[in-house]
Amino acid sequence: MRSCAIVILNYNGEEMLKTFLPSVCMHTKYDILVIDNASSDSSINFLKESYPQIQLIKLSENFGYAGGYNKGLLQIKGQYDYYILLNSDVEVTAGWDSNLISWMQAHPDYAALQPKVLSWKERDTFDYAGAGGGFLDAYGYPYCRGRIWDSVEKDIGSYNDAIEVDWASGACMVVNGTVFHQLSGFDSDFFAHMEEIDLCWRMRKSGWKIGYTGSVEVYHLGGATLDRASPKKMYLNIRNSLSMIYKNETSFRFFKIFVVKSLLEHLAALSFVSQGKKEFSKAIVDAYRDFRLKKKLIEKFHPELDGRVEVLRKGKADLIFWNWKILGRKTFDQL
């Protein structure tokens, strides 16, 4: 078994590959694979002509982030100890991959790890997706060191450490291949968004830790697949968040969380109507409708601990939105 594969998911991302693949090839010592979600652009021809050394896994249709990785990684199951899942819009740095794998090998009780994720456009600023390590509040809302809600911090070296976190960013995350497959990978019903947080939650419930190391930096463009401020992303985030919480929390805890989330998010829907942004309001209403329609089909996650103990949430905030919007706490150190 080889130690690691860098695995990039592609869907109509020819321009992203042209921009970011050179840094990956320059700074990577492990095998590089591209899983293609049935792209209709010239991605495949570009890869075959310019990067014949990269293994290409072609899928029959666009299965999204979650399903695409699941189906692609099944084809190489058992060949690698670790996968580094890398977005196609990420620039990497010298030694990034070997340092991430060395960290994982030195910490065998960790099932996932992310580096420091900075903005490709503003390189002294954290990226929205993962930043300096991800946490969850008591109601399942994600936040990061370096990014509270929509407030993003400059990188001043505060998060150069290595710590245990609640979730690792799907923009660049190392996963233990055996654990990934034991947990059936991402939830393919998610299609995209929140799937890495759900996977990390299931890893923690199964007794595995999630890590962050600031000794490795990558630069993420972000929004290359779906604009962060889009109704579609809002729909997927809300629908998938409800599914994730329902699956991983007790029924009593879910009911309590659902009441609070439903109130907050339907108030947000009314606010969008008053702002003339009816498409965002519809996205929220549709997300709740579709969650209720499929709720009976969602199986509660029951981990097989095999002697391990569930790893509890590290996030200390009760409701991150209240801290950010009402109390004005815009940076991690203010929480």
Same domain, 94 and 213: yes
The per-residue b/e assignment along 145-173, b for 16 or more CB within 10 angstroms, e otherwise, is: bbbbbeebbebeeebeeeeebbbbbbbbb
Same domain, 136 and 271: no
Q: Would residue 327 count as lying in a domain? A: no
Residue ranges making up the domain that contains 157: 2-220
CA distance 240 to 188: 11
Q: Would residue 323 count as lying in a domain? A: no
Number of domains composing the chain = 2
Q: Would residue 333 count as lying in a domain? A: no
DSSP readout, 157-226? STT-SEEEESB--TTEEEEEHHHHHHTTSS-GGG-SSSHHHHHHHHHHHTT-EEEEEEEEEEEE---SSS
Same domain, 164 and 274: no
> pLDDT at position 223, please?
58
Same domain, 179 and 146: yes
Strand pairing class (2-10; 31-36): parallel
CA distance 215 to 212: 9
The pair phi, psi for residue 333, each rounded to 5°, is -70, -10
Q: Would residue 328 count as lying in a domain? A: no
- Rama region for 319: left / alpha / beta (φ>0; ψ in -120 to 50; rest): beta
CA distance 321 to 263: 13
Same domain, 212 and 168: yes
> pLDDT at position 224, please?
47
Same domain, 214 and 234: no
Same domain, 200 and 244: no
Same domain, 111 and 252: no
For residue 69, what is the domain's CATH number? 3.90.550.10
Same domain, 233 and 85: no
DSSP classification of residue 149: T
Query: Going residue by residue through the chain (335 aa), what tens digit of pLDDT does each one get?
Result: 789 999 999 999 999 999 999 999 999 999 999 999 999 999 999 999 999 999 999 999 999 999 999 999 999 999 999 999 999 999 999 999 999 999 999 999 999 999 999 999 999 999 999 999 999 999 999 999 999 998 999 999 999 999 999 999 999 999 999 999 999 999 999 998 999 999 999 999 999 999 999 999 999 998 544 455 789 999 999 999 999 999 999 999 999 999 999 999 999 999 999 999 999 999 999 999 999 999 999 999 999 999 999 999 999 999 999 999 999 999 999 99
Evaluate the CA torsion angle 42, 43, 47, 48 in order and state its sign. Answer: negative
Q: Would residue 276 count as lying in a domain? A: yes
Same domain, 170 and 203: yes
Q: Which residue has the tokens 């209720």?
A: 292
Q: Would residue 309 count as lying in a domain? A: no
Q: Would residue 75 count as lying in a domain? A: yes
| Three-class SS state of 86 | strand
Same domain, 210 and 235: no
Same domain, 202 and 88: yes
Q: Would residue 317 count as lying in a domain? A: no
